[in-house]
Each structure stands twice: as structure tokens, then as C-alpha cells.
Structure 1
Amino acid sequence: MGQLIKLQDYASRYEQNIFHYPSRFVTLKKQQWEKLRYNWENPEAAPVLIQKDDSKIEVKPHLLNKIKTLFSRNNDSETLSTDESMLQTGEPAEFDQFTAMVHYAETVDDLKLQFLNQLFDFQLKWATSTLTEKSIMNKRFFFDEHLRYFLQRFPDTYLVLYRPIFLLKKASIEVESILISPTDVWCITFLEDHDLSVFVGSNQKFWDVRTKNKEKRIVNPLLSANRTEKIVKKLFQLYEIELPIHKVILSRNGFIDYPLPPYDVTLIDKRNYEEWFTSLRRLRSPLKSTQLKGAKALLDYCQTTSIRRQEWEVDEGNEK
């Protein structure tokens, strides 16, 4: 499951410590999957939510863990509570909250899908909040198929910046999605319409899109792809990061007709998509130092828009 380290301009805890959270996430994910599977295989040992039909739900709540309050400071203490410290260092308390209940699943594959969906929601929390700050996320991201594709189809060692907004020379610049593997960086521009659409490429400002019943024009996707690649290259040069950068135009369900494309762009369409995708998924390299340094270089120049958590505003007000 790819790790969402930046979502547009939202506050991300990966920005606080990119060298800690990726490996922590991998460890916690493994622990929680083992716990979830054990609960599923041993329903008598944990609460299980079973939906038998549309009107009847049977719940076994005898071992349901109590949800602890994250912000539970004593009146006579200024130190962080246990749960707050856990939130800073890895958020096991948050993981426990969504694995306390095992929903009914017929097979292990059903359980895996259930777990991936839970992790997807959890990752959005990590990508939109920190211990003290939070961002107001557009709810459309819960249903964003491209975002779900990155987070549910790639290995844990892939770091994802999804349509990040960079702040360069006081200007906000939104770019395409960036996928950082242990060995490469992929700047990916999606090019998708109806199934079997044909995208006719050129070096002009517009491309033609041909479907079964009609034809239309779209802005040349290379314009945004070039902008994304240029920013990544500049920041890597600034931080002396040496990772290959690939610029990709991706059409999973259509065809790209561009006889003489620029030499520095990779065109992936329905004809070669499976080969390309499989090659990325087969990468078994662990997280690498250069990869994390590259991620930090990009995060350092990402814009963040957030507000102070109300709990902290109240606490600080009481201390004055």
C-alpha cells in the first residue's frame, strides 16, 4: 500500500519526520493486519460485527476495547498523556480504534479488501492532520479513484505526493502526482476518458480525443507533466539528490497515438500498461536513505494550509 506523504496543501505528519513515519507505518500495518486476521479467525476472542441481511446485525461486544481520550492532561500536569505520546510516535491508539471491530467477511480476500479500505481512510487522517494542526479536507478525496489506485495497488515502500502544491518564490503551483520508489521518481499525469478512447498526441497546445461517437480536444498533458518534472529536478539539484526522474503520461483504459513523442517522456497506455505496472509492483527494495532525503526535499517546499487544533487552543488558554 503506497504511503500518502502529501495531499495537496494539507498538513501531513510525514512533514514532521519523514525519516520516522514511513518505516513506522509499515510496522504498524503488519501488526494490525495480524491482529485483524486473528480476530477474524477467532471470533470468540474479539468483538465481531456480522451483517446477516439488510435488517439484522449481530454484534458480539464482550471484548470491545474502550476508546481512550487522546487529550487527557491532568489539571496538575503539563506533560503529554500516554495517548498523546503514542500519537506523536506512531499512533497505535488510532490503529486500535479501527481494528477493534471485525466486520463479517466470507474469505481472507474479502478481509484484505476490508483492511485496505480501513487503511485508506486512516492514511487520509495522517495526510491531513498532526498532533497540533489539522486541515479541512475536501471530501471528494474519499472517492478519488486515482488516489485510491496509488494507495491500494503499490507496495508500502512507494511514497506518494498526490497533486501537491509547491510554494516557490511566493507562488503556489499545483502539479501532477509524484511517486517516489526506493530507486526512482515517477511524475505521473493521468490521461483517461471513456474506455478505448484514442488520444492523438502532438507538440501543439491541444490534443485530440477520439471516442466511438465523438471527438473533442484537451490541453496537451505534457504541459503539466513538464512543469512537475522541472520542479522535482530543481529541488533535487538543490539538495544534491541523485534519483532517476521519469515523466509518464498514463492511460490505463485507452490508447495514445503519438508517432514521434519527446525522448524524455514515457507513454503508457492499454497496450503496455500491465507490463509497466507489474515491473513497479515487483520492486522488492526496502525504503532507502536517498529516497527519504528526496521526499524531504520536496516536502520542504510544499505549501501547507492548516488550523490549530481546538484542544490545544483550550489547553494553552488555561495555562496563561
Structure 2
Amino acid sequence: MAQLVKLQDYISRYEIDMFRYPSQFIRMKKDNYARLRQQWEDEQATPQIAEPEEIEEKKSFFKKWFKRKDQFDVWEDDEEEAIPLPEQESELKYFFLDRVFSFQLKWASSTLQEVSYFDRYYEHDLLLKYFLQRFPDTYLLFYNPIFKLKKAVVEADVMLITPTEIQCIVVLDQEGENITYQPVDDRKWMKVQDGVEKQIVSPLVSLKRTEKTIKSILDYNELEFPIKKVVLTQHNQIRHQQAPYQTEYVDETNYAEWFERQRETSYPIKYQQLKVSEALLEHTQKTFVKRPIWMDEDQDMT
């Protein structure tokens, strides 16, 4: 499960310590799945009508996630209704991933002291879920981040910071299925659907802008890391002769191969990957307010 490091211009938990939270997430995810599976096995072995105190215990199971003695890791979760565990073992993993997804959204939109106004749309964003739930724990996701460079504000594409490279990705499947795309020139592509041709802006335009932004940040911090541009469409075709340098076209003909290559990566999280992610985070726009409890304390001190 990839880690949501940055979501748009929200304040992120990872901005507190980029070198701490990725490994902590992986460890806690593993530990909590082991606890959840043990709870599921216990229920399967001794099925019975739950007492009120047992219901409350299950209700608080996920609220205990990611809690540590360090105050910066304590969640202030809202009350949640008790959600029964699935009966089938095959459904347990997906149940777990959906619960982790909700916590990732909180990590990507708040810290102990600050919180960003969260758009509930992201709770149902299937593309965001795709990147988080289908890729390895060692992949760090910047989902449509907003960078601030001097006086310029740049909205970037989806970015996956892997242990070996940065992948800047534009996804075309959001436009429908049974579509054929044909590059025309540096700025235009042809989109053909049901025999109807339509010119669209080349996805490479935004990808090059994202790449340029990343390069300027890396150069400023004297960092080097490979950058690859990816045009991704799982259910459609891209007709082309040869992709430009450091660019990959992934369509229905080679999607399975590309996806397996991502899933099978065995590289652990690397220092340079974290250093690059930290530098990128430092140049993102952050829109947030102080949590009420901290605002009250500030007023008491004045």
C-alpha cells in the first residue's frame, strides 16, 4: 500500500519528519493487520453473540491505530460506528485496506497542531485509492501537489517517488473506455472515440511542466534522482511510433507488464528517496489552520 505523503495543498504528517513516518507506517500497518487477523480468527473459532463491552472494544480497535507515547502520533479520531469484520477470509484484506485508507487521508491533511479543510471528495476518489491500495509500501505518493516556487504556484501531476526514480503520471482512463489516442505534435493529441475525432492537449504538456518543477527543486537542493514521465491508460490504446526520452506510454497492450513490474519491486525505502521527498515537501504550498485546542492555549499564554 503506497503512502500518501502529500495531498493537494493540505498540511501533511510527513512534513514533521520525512525520515521517520514512512518506516513507522510500514511497521504499524504490519502490526495492525496481524492483530486484525488474530481477532478475525478468534471470532471464527468461537462465534457467539457479542456483549456490549465487546462491541465497544471492536469499535475502538481502529481508533487505537498509530497511537504511540509520543504526542505527535496521537490521533484525535471522531466516534465511529462499530463495523463487523467480514465473514470470508478473502474479504479481510480489502476490509483492512479500506480502513487504512481513511487513516492515510488524516495523516495527509493534519498534524497534532494544524489541520487543513478536507474535501470529502477524496474519500471516494477511485484513482487515489488505486494508487494507494495497489502499489508497494515503499512508494511515496504526491497526489496532485501544489508547488510554490518564489512567486509562482504550480499544480503538478500525480507523482510516485519510488526507491529508484520519480514517476510523473497522467491518467487518461478518466475520459472513458474504447478510446484510441494518437500523438500529433508536441502540444496536441488526437482522441478517437466511436469514430469521432477530437483534438486534445497533449498530456506531455503538463508532464513536462511537472518535470521542470521537480528538476528546479532538486537542482536548488543539489540532489540528483531519475525522473520518468508516464502516460497511463489501462483500458485504451495509445498509437505511437516511439515515446520521447524518459517517457513511457502505458496502455491496454502493456499495462499488465508495467503494473507487475511496479508490484514486484523488492527495493526497500532508500535515503536518497526520502531526501528527495523532503526537499519536494519543503516547496509545496500548505493551507491549514491551527486546531482549536492549540489556539486556546496560545490565547492563554498572551
TM-score, normalized by the shorter chain, greater than 0.5: yes
Q: Per-residue CA shift, 1:190-219, capped at 9, x if unaligned? A: 122222210111225332211125333321
Report the residue type matching 1:116 in the other structure: L
Q: Secondary structure at the match of 2:269?
A: coil
Matched letter for residue 286 of structure 1:
P
TM-fit CA distance, 1:278: 0.6
Number of the residue aligned with 1:54: none
How many Å separate the matches in 1 of 2:284 and 2:178? 36
Displacement, 1:124? 0.3
Q: Distance in 1 between matches of 2:269 and 2:95?
A: 26
1:233 to 199, 215, 218: 215
- In structure 2, the residue matched to 1:74 is none
Pick aligned residue for 2:53 from 62, 75, 83: 62
The question of 1:212 aligning with 2:194 is answered yes
Structure 2 Cα separation of the partners of residues 114 and 30 of structure 1:
15
CA RMSD after TM alignment: 2.7
Which of residues 144, 151, 160 is equivalent to 2:141? 160
Partner of 2:34: 34
**Could you report, residue by residue, the CA deviation over 1:209-246 in whole angstroms, capped at 9, with x for unpaired residues?**
11125333321111000011111122222223232211
Unaligned stretches of 5+ residues in structure 1: 51-57, 71-82
Going from structure 1 to structure 2, the CA distance change for 1:30 and 1:177 (only over 3 Å counts) comes to same
Corresponding residue for residue 313 of structure 1:
295
The TM-score with structure 1 as length reference comes to 0.84
1:101-116 matched pairs, under 5 angstroms:
103-116=84-97
C-alpha separation in 2, matches of 1:29 and 1:268:
30
Using the alignment, how far apart are the partners of 1:61 and 1:215 within structure 2? 62
Is the CA contact 1:168–1:301 (under 8 Å) kept in the aligned structure 2? yes
Other structure's SS at 2:104 match? helix
Return the match for 2:163 from 174, 182, 196: 182
What is the aligned partner in structure 1 of residue 8 from structure 2? 8
**1:263 and 2:254 matched:** no
Contact 1:161 1:177 in 2 (8 A): yes
Q: Which range moves more in the overlay, 213-222 or 188-197?
A: 213-222
Measure the CA separation in 2 of the matches of 1:225 and 1:40: 44
Deviation of residue 252 (structure 1)?
1.0
What amino acid is the match of 1:202?
V
Residue 19 of structure 1: aligned partner: 19
Paired with 1:199 and 1:59, the residues of 2 have a C-alpha distance of: 56
Contact 1:197 1:209 survives alignment (8 Å)? yes
Alpha carbons of 1:36 and 1:84: their partners in 2 closer, same or farther (altered >3 Å)? Answer: closer
> Paired residue for 2:130?
149
Q: 1:144 Cα shift?
A: 1.2
- Inter-CA distance 296–159: structure 2 relative to 1 (3 Å threshold): same
Moved more, 198-207 or 136-145: 198-207
The equivalent of 2:283 in structure 1 is: 301
Q: Using the alignment, how far apart are the partners of 1:310 and 1:144 within structure 2?
A: 28
Give the conservation status (yes or no) of the 8 Å contact 2:227–2:246.
Answer: no
Deviation for aligned residue 1:84: 8.6
Match of 1:131 among 90, 112, 132: 112
Deviations 1:113-134 (A, max 9, x none): 0110011111000000000000
Q: Give the AA of the match of 2:292.
A: Q
Once residues 7 and 61 of structure 1 are traced to their aligned partners in structure 2, the CA distance between those partners, rounded to angstroms, is 38
Q: Distance in 2 between matches of 1:60 and 1:185?
A: 50
**Structure 1 residue matching 2:53: 3-state secondary structure:** coil
Q: Structure 1's 175 and 270: CA in aligned 2 closer, same or farther, altered over 3 A? A: same
CA distance in 2, matches of 1:305, 1:275: 39
Q: Which runs of 5+ in 2 are unaligned?
A: none
CA contact (8 A) 1:194 1:211 kept: no
Equivalent residue in structure 1 for 2:154, among 170, 173, 178: 173
1:304 and 1:45, CA in 2 relative to 1: closer, same or farther beyond 3 A?
Answer: farther
Find the residue that maps to 1:103 and give its secondary structure: coil
Asked if 1:244 is matched to 2:226, the reply is: yes
Q: Which amino acid in 1 is paired with 2:107?
A: W
